[in-house]
Amino acid sequence: MLLLAAAVAWPLAHAGTALVVERDVGPPDAIIMLASHEWERLPAAAALARRHRGAIVMLTFPVVVTVYNCHMCGERAERLVEEGVERKRIRYLPRTTSTYGEALAARRHARLERFSRLVIVTSPYHTRRALATFAKVFEGSGVTVGVTSASPAQGRPDRWWFAPYDRHYVGYEWAASLKYLWDYSVPVFPE
């Protein structure tokens, strides 16, 4: 019975930290800040863009904008400029409904800009699924994909079960990961 309890408890205890990944690709040619959660993603994207002044910065937007998915959509470019990113480096990608759509839009844009190293900036719990999705979409393109986690405005992956925000986001990401495996054959835990 104790072994069964441990077999169930261990994966649950690590469900939050298992979602958070980082992949360094060296100096990026392109940075993509995914839609939503601007309060944590925008400062991280701006900091990365300031360190890599040759990189373009791509912004994605949801098809339907709400206060829950993009409460500062119209202000993103201006905020990046205020944070020290030159306006000429900012690109707007077509509106999309999902992380998969963002990856497709970025791949189409890669054909125009011809970049070879792309870094995704997203929220900590979203990093694993975002990286797996972009890696799948960019497969065979010659573009190396990395991901960096924005500093969480809230959330503690190692104690995800304590706060409603974490419980919701962790549950959502695991459900979304299964959906992406089913819909797009995106393995969140590749071999």
Q: For 104-142, what is each residue's pLDDT tens digit?
A: 999 999 999 999 999 999 999 999 999 999 999 999 999
DSSP state for residue 111 in the 8-state scheme? H
Structure tokens at 137: 């979409």
Alpha-carbon dihedral sign for residues 141, 176, 150, 56: positive
pTM score, whole prediction: 0.91
User: 161 vs 105, which has greater pLDDT?
Assistant: 105
* Whether residue 100 has pLDDT greater than 70: yes
Gyration radius (Cα) of the chain, Å: 17
Instruction: Please state, rounded to an integer, the average pLDDT across all residues of the chain.
Output: 88
Contacts 24+ apart (CB under 8 A), 169-175: 169/123, 169/125, 170/15, 170/16, 170/19, 170/125, 173/19, 173/125, 173/126, 173/128, 173/129, 174/15, 174/19
CA distance 131 to 65: 24
pLDDT tens, position by position, 3-30? 443 344 445 667 889 999 999 999 999 9
Identify the CATH number of the domain defined by range 19-152.
3.40.50.620
